[in-house]
Amino acid sequence: MISLLTGQVVLAGYGVLMIAGGLMGYLKGGSKVSLFAGAIAGGLCVGATWLSVEQPGDGLTLGALVAFLLAGVFINRFAKTRKLVPAGVILLLSLLVGALLMALLQDLGLSPPEIEA
């Protein structure tokens, strides 16, 4: 069984890695898109971690959503480039983080927030 604290640490670490990856993409290749995408995705993950302190269901759901969205982006990049670094690594990491957060939601009996119509 995974604890809430473990999930929060994993989510925060994932967010920091996304920010660092975007910065590396900018410094190595001059990619402003990588810089902004990494900052946005990482910022959302760090924000989701902070949200999960008060509202665990909402924060963990947001973190899982970001992780699975990034997995969708990087599966496309990996299919095009066939390069393990960075596309394959980020794809696998995103799938693992997303699955861990969804499992944690299930274990804690938390459900994603309901959308009112």
The pLDDT tens digits for 36-78 are 999 999 999 999 999 999 999 999 999 999 999 999 999 999 9
Separation between Cα atoms, residue 87 and residue 98, nearest integer Å? 16
Share of the chain above pLDDT 70, in %: 97
Q: Is 116 inside a domain boundary?
A: no
Q: Are 5 and 36 in contact (CB under 8 A)?
A: no
Q: What is the pLDDT of residue 2?
A: 82
Into how many domains does the chain fold?
1
Tokens of 96: 């693992």
Q: What is the pLDDT of residue 104?
A: 95
Q: Is 115 inside a domain boundary?
A: no
Does the pLDDT of residue 107 top 80, yes or no?
Answer: yes
In the predicted model, what is the mean pLDDT of residues 71-89? 93
Task: State the residue range of the domain holding 71.
Answer: 4-107
* Predicted TM-score (pTM) of this structure: 0.90
Written as one letter, the residue type at 57 is G
Does the pLDDT of residue 112 top 80, yes or no?
Answer: no
- Which spans in 1-117 are helix H? 4-29, 32-54, 56-81, 89-107
Q: Is 13 inside a domain boundary?
A: yes
Residues in the chain, total: 117
Does the pLDDT of residue 113 top 70, yes or no?
Answer: no
Q: Is 113 inside a domain boundary?
A: no
Q: Is 99 inside a domain boundary?
A: yes
Does the pLDDT of residue 115 top 80, yes or no?
Answer: no
